[in-house]
């Protein structure tokens, strides 16, 4: 059966949005992993997370997701499949891809997303708040200053070494993003 | 007024309010298709003779009670909710009827979740908006005028094994009917009246300036503050006036509707933590923290807090937002000072029995509270500790 352009366009747009969300989630995962190795602020934040704690962030109903696990003193990205995400003890799932993109492309902050009921939380709210703080650290390094000004409640201040770390994260994230896109 | 880019608002609760609201319970059950209710309550409410008032309205009716569960403790838990479920099943019930304050209502909400989802335990239902399906018929008769839990989509219950508080937020947690009858709050002692009333005032104030404020929550918040400012002090002074009790019940309910949509912020995050660590009653903790939390948010929300000033009965406004906001905070301080004189409501954390050594643990607990994310101003551990030291 022939598909009309009117039917095709929304589907293509939706696929494109999912693609952007997938890429952004990979960037987020890489950010968690990288900063847990190199940022003292992140290391302090996750110090009390118990070994094996898993956190999944994704898009409903069957969109992309990323799963992060605490192993040793660091965080590792387990990949973007539903298998890992479904088993995570803490899941933050955006209600739809448009809601996810608002956060993942830096148009609203994670706290605003929670306040606006953009995402569901499966699991302990206290752990979701801890994850939210860790995510705020990733966001601080991932997004440029102009974006941070509008999405954070308090503009982060960067030390010289943190600025250097931001540059290093940008350098490592490129290849990961490419891999994430073509996985 | 700017309309937020996006907001959600819901209040699917039928409200039956009045001096003869109580006898409507069986009829409301009928509308919900229910025939046999389990009353969930606590000892204090039972000893005040309030359960008898409820059982009395079933005389000569086809609808009946399948039992009375009156074992809800102040820091209720998953174990208590599981016992409520057992009593419900043993009594052949098809409807929950909560008669009590926030502790009872939250316990009944937890039991209702277990009944509606068939889940083995509450741990697997923790979170925000993850519940699916319809819960069994659920009627609430509040006996305090404070929490507004009869119209909120939230519940907090302790987990006995893990010794943590579990939070639940879901649209299907709303009760079906709230019955506000002043007979049910007449027996509240002055101190509980004051503390629960201050909980309601905190809901309304935080709802008015927190992140998800919207025109609908604003309308309910402001109406609640007006009623509270008119009736709270008189009703603490003389709790026997049914008209004032009814006004307070409506005020608490409206504040509940407001904050269920726009949510609460740092004051509630700290108050929950003060409750968890030092066992200070929720309303008492809020009363102490309200002026400090409002003041903390003035740099971000001066206009909104200033807009509350006339409702908090500030007489002379300057038109300058941060000065009027400061006057609003002062009005709250004056109110808690009056309540302190009238019934001994504590004004500092120290007076409430908190020790200085507990403040760090309270701050650490507070920054993990969901409400912290809804506060306009950022709050980290040091900020939380500074606020607690001020309120100490
Ligand atoms: N779910 C929500 O939306 C929400 C909102 C705010 C607070 N809460 C929760 O509510 C709880 C506090 O509830 P609360 O402030 O209503 O107090 P409460 O239910 O704990 O009751 C306090 C005491 O007052 C007694 N009492 C209640 N009504 C009485 C009456 N009419 N006459 C005489 N004694 C009476 C009770 O027996 C109890 O001893 C906290 O656990 C808090 O976390 C829930
Ligand atoms: Fe409250």
**What percentage of residues in chain B have a pLDDT greater than 70?**
100
Q: How far apart are CA B347 and CA A49, in angstroms?
A: 36
- Report the CATH number that the domain containing residue B230 is assigned in CATH: 1.20.1090.10
What ipTM is given for this predicted complex?
Answer: 0.91
Tell me, in angstroms, the distance from the centre of ligand 1 to residue B147's CA: 7
Mean pLDDT score, A122-143: 93
Segments forming the whole domain that contains residue B257: 190-391
- Please state which architecture CATH assigns to domain A12-178: 2-Layer Sandwich (3.30)
**pLDDT (tens digit, 9 = 90+) per residue, A95-114?**
999 999 999 988 999 889 98
User: Which residues of chain B lie closer than 8 angstroms to A53, CB-CB?
Assistant: none
Query: In this structure, is the dihedral angle defined by the CA atoms of residues B353, B80, B150 and B256, taken in order, positive or negative?
Result: positive
Query: Do residues B352 and B385 both lie within one domain?
Result: yes
Query: Do residues B203 and B351 both lie within one domain?
Result: yes
Longest dimension (CA), chain B: 63
Angle between helices B282-308 and B190-209 (to 10 degrees): 40
Query: B128 vs A111: CB contact, 8 Å cut-off?
Result: no
Whether B9 is in a domain gets the answer no
Atom of ligand 1 nearest to the CA of B185: 31
**Chosen domain end from B184, B214, B243:** B184
What's the CA dihedral at B105, B109, B115, B116 to 10 degrees?
Answer: 140
Alpha helices (runs of H) in chain B, residue ranges in sequence order: 25-31, 43-47, 50-56, 78-90, 102-117, 190-209, 215-237, 242-262, 266-278, 282-308, 321-343, 359-366, 381-391
The confidence score (pLDDT) of residue A4 equals 83
Query: Do residues B241 and B165 both lie within one domain?
Result: no
Cβ atoms < 10 Å from Cβ of A124: 22
Write the secondary structure of B144-177 as one string of H (helix), E (strand) and C (coil). CCCCCHHHCCEEEEEECCCCEEEEEECHHHCCCE
Q: Whose CA is nearest to atom 34 of ligand 1?
A: B188
- Return the higher-pLDDT residue of B36 and A84: B36
pLDDT band at A180 (very low <50, low <70, confident <90, very high): low
Joined tokens for residue A16: 């494109």
**With 80 as the cut, is the pLDDT of residue A179 above it?**
no
Q: Which residue among B127, B169, B210 places its CB closest to the CB of A123?
A: B127
pLDDT band at A80 (very low <50, low <70, confident <90, very high): low
Query: Do residues B353 and B279 both lie within one domain?
Result: yes
User: Which residues of chain B lie closer than 8 angstroms to A127, CB-CB?
Assistant: 368
pLDDT band at B174 (very low <50, low <70, confident <90, very high): very high
As for how many domains chain B has, the answer is: 2
Q: How far apart are CA A141 and CA B179, in angstroms?
A: 51
- A3, A62, A64, B3 from A8: Cα distances, Å: 7, 19, 21, 34
User: Which residues of chain A lie closer than 8 angstroms to B7, CB-CB?
Assistant: 116
Query: A120 vs B373: CB contact, 8 Å cut-off?
Result: no
Are the C-beta atoms of B73 and B101 separated by less than 8 Å? no
Residue A113 C-alpha, separation from nearest chain B C-alpha, in angstroms? 10
The confidence score (pLDDT) of residue A182 equals 47
Query: Do residues B273 and B375 both lie within one domain?
Result: yes
Write the secondary structure of chain A as one string of H (helix), E (strand) and C (coil). CCCCHHHHHHHHHHHHHHHHHHHHHHHHHHHHHHHHHHCHHHHHHHCCCCCCCEEEEEECCCCCEEEEEEECCEEEEEECCHHHHHHCCEEEEECCHHHHHHHHCCCCCHHHHHHCCCEEEECCHHHHHHHHHHHHHHHHHHCCHHHHHHHCCCCCCCCHHHHHHHHHHHHHHHHHHHHHHHC
Whether B373 is in a domain gets the answer yes
**pLDDT (tens digit, 9 = 90+) per residue, B242-293?**
999 999 999 999 999 999 999 999 999 999 999 999 999 999 999 999 999 9
Q: How far apart are CA B286 and CA B195, in angstroms?
A: 8
pTM of the model: 0.95
Cβ atoms < 10 Å from Cβ of B286: 30
List the one residue out of B124, B154, B174, B123 whose CA is nearest residue B15.
B174
Residue B246 C-alpha, separation from nearest chain A C-alpha, in angstroms? 32
**Residue B221: left if φ>0, alpha if ψ -120 to 50, beta else—which one?**
alpha
Mean pLDDT score, A55-82: 89
Give ligand 1 pocket residues (Cβ under 6 A).
B 42, 44-45, 48, 50, 74, 100-104, 106, 143-144, 146-147, 149, 152, 154-156, 184-185, 187-188, 192, 196, 199, 282-283
Query: Do residues B171 and B225 both lie within one domain?
Result: no
Query: Do residues B320 and B368 both lie within one domain?
Result: yes
Q: Residue B163 forms beta bridges with which residues?
A: none
Query: Do residues B103 and B37 both lie within one domain?
Result: yes
**With 50 as the cut, is the pLDDT of residue A35 above it?**
yes
Tell me, in angstroms, the distance from the centre of ligand 2 to residue B221's CA: 14
**pLDDT (tens digit, 9 = 90+) per residue, B129-143?**
989 889 999 999 999
Mean pLDDT (chain A) is 88
Query: Do residues B97 and B161 both lie within one domain?
Result: yes
Mean pLDDT score, B355-384: 95
Phi, psi values for residue A58, rounded to 5°? -160, -175
Query: Do residues B248 and B118 both lie within one domain?
Result: no
List the one residue out of B247, B254, B181 whose CA is nearest residue B224.
B254
Query: Do residues B55 and B157 both lie within one domain?
Result: yes
Strand order in the sheet with A74-79: A74-79, A65-71, A54-59, A90-94, A119-122, B127-128, B164-169, B154-159
pLDDT band at A149 (very low <50, low <70, confident <90, very high): confident
Whether B380 is in a domain gets the answer yes
**pLDDT (tens digit, 9 = 90+) per residue, B53-67?**
999 999 999 999 999
Query: A126 vs B369: CB contact, 8 Å cut-off?
Result: yes
The confidence score (pLDDT) of residue B293 equals 98
Query: Do residues B68 and B52 both lie within one domain?
Result: yes
**pLDDT (tens digit, 9 = 90+) per residue, B195-252?**
999 999 999 999 999 999 999 999 999 999 999 999 999 999 999 999 999 999 999 9
Whether B257 is in a domain gets the answer yes
Atom of ligand 1 nearest to the CA of B43: 37
Cβ-Cβ contacts under 8 Å between A and B: the total is 74
Mean pLDDT score, A119-132: 93
- Report the CATH number that the domain containing residue B78 is assigned in CATH: 3.40.50.1970
Domain definitions of chain A by residue range: 12-178
Whether B295 is in a domain gets the answer yes
Are the C-beta atoms of B144 and B101 separated by less than 8 Å? yes
Q: How far apart are CA A175 and CA A46, in angstroms?
A: 26
Residue B213 C-alpha, separation from nearest chain A C-alpha, in angstroms? 9
């Amino acid at each position: 059966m022939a598909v009309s352009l009117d039917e095709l366009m929304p589907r293509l747009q939706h696929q494109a949005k999912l693609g952007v969300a997938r890429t952004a989630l990979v960037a987020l995962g890489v950010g968690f992993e990288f900063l847990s190795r190199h940022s003292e602020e992140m290391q302090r934040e996750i110090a009390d997370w118990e070994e094996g704690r898993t956190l999944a962030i994704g898009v409903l109903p069957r969109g992309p997701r990323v799963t992060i696990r605490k192993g040793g003193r660091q965080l590792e990205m387990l990949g973007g499949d539903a298998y890992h995400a479904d088993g995570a003890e803490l899941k933050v799932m955006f209600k739809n891809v448009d809601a996810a993109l608002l956060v993942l492309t830096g148009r609203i902050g994670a706290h605003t997303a929670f306040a606006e009921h953009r995402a569901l939380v499966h699991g302990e709210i206290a752990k979701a708040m801890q994850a939210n703080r860790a995510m705020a650290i990733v966001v601080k390094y991932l997004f440029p200053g102009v974006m941070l000004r509008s999405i954070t409640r308090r503009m982060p201040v960067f030390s010289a070494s943190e600025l250097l770390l931001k540059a290093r994260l940008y350098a490592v994230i490129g290849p990961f993003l490419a891999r994430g896109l073509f996985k | 007024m700017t309309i937020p880019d996006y907001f959600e608002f819901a209040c699917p609760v039928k409200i039956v309010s009045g001096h003869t609201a109580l006898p409507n319970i069986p009829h409301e059950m009928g509308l919900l298709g229910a025939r046999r209710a389990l009353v969930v309550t606590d000892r204090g409410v039972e000893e005040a003779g309030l359960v008898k008032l409820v059982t009395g309205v079933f005389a000569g009716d086809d609808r009946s009670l399948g039992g009375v569960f009156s074992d809800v403790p102040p820091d209720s838990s998953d174990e208590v909710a599981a016992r409520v479920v057992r009593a419900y099943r043993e009594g052949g019930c098809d409807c929950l009827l909560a008669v009590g304050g926030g502790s009872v209502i939250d316990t009944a909400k937890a039991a209702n979740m277990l009944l509606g989802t068939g889940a083995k335990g509450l741990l697997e239902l923790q979170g925000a908006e993850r519940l699916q399906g319809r819960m069994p018929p659920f009627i609430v008769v509040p006996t305090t005028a404070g929490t507004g839990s009869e119209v909120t989509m939230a519940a907090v219950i302790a987990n006995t094994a893990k010794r943590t508080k579990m939070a639940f937020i879901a649209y299907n947690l709303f009760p079906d009917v709230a019955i506000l009858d002043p007979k049910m709050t007449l027996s509240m002692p002055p101190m509980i009246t004051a503390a629960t009333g201050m909980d309601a005032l905190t809901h309304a104030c935080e709802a008015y300036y927190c992140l998800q404020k919207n025109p609908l929550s604003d309308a309910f918040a402001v109406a609640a503050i007006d009623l509270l400012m008119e009736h709270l002090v008189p009703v603490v002074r003389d709790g026997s006036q049914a008209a004032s009790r009814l006004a307070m019940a409506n005020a608490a309910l409206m504040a509940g509707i407001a904050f269920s949509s726009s949510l609460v912020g740092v004051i509630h995050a700290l108050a929950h933590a003060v409750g968890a660590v030092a066992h200070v009653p929720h309303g008492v903790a809020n009363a102490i923290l309200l002026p400090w939390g409002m003041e903390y948010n003035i740099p971000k929300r001066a206009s909104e807090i200033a807009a509350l000033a006339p409702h908090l009965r500030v007489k002379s406004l300057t038109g300058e937002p941060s000065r009027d906001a400061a006057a609003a905070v002062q009005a709250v301080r004056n109110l808690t000072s009056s309540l302190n004189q009238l019934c001994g409501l504590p004004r500092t954390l120290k007076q409430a029995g908190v020790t200085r050594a507990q403040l760090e643990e309270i701050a650490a607990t507070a920054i993990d509270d969901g409400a912290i994310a809804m506060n306009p101003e950022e709050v980290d551990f040091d900020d939380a500790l500074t606020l607690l030291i001020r309120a100490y």
